[in-house]
Amino acid sequence: MNKSPAAVLTDAAEILRRNGHNKGTYFELRADLPAIERPVCALGAILIATEGAPYPTNPGMFSEDAFEAAKVLARSIHSTVVDDDPVERIADWNDAEDRTPGEVMQAMTRAAEEWAA
């Protein structure tokens, strides 16, 4: 593991603040910006922080750093997904109709702080 989950989540919160928030896909599908500058979902921000792109570099597979950070974030949120898959839990939570960018960034920051404590 190259980056701790705390470092990944801290970086991801900053990426989300800078790029903006997206729902439904890892990143907003628009051609006027490079993919790493487009609005991203929570998972897209984690992927940029770990893999340098807002999507898994191996289709369907997260790097170890990305997956570990996702597990830490998934444990700190409330999702309607009841299984243990952190990617599904985060996607469901991120995409909730009333989910705000501030809530996502705050959850990332809180999860990072709790992991580092």
- Tell me the average pLDDT of the chain: 94
**pLDDT(108) > 90:** yes
Distance from C-alpha of 77 to C-alpha of 111, rounded to nearest angstrom: 9
Give residue for tokens 């009841």. Answer: 82
Distance from C-alpha of 85 to C-alpha of 81, rounded to nearest angstrom: 8
**pLDDT(80) > 90:** no
Percent of the chain residues past pLDDT 70, beyond the cut = 99
Average pLDDT over residues 38-56: 96
The pLDDT value recorded for residue 61 is 87
Predicted model pTM: 0.94
Distance from C-alpha of 56 to C-alpha of 65, rounded to nearest angstrom: 12
pLDDT tens for each residue of 1-38: 699 999 999 999 999 999 999 999 999 998 899 989 99
Q: Which domain holds residue 13?
A: 5-116
Question: How many separate domains does the chain show?
Answer: 1
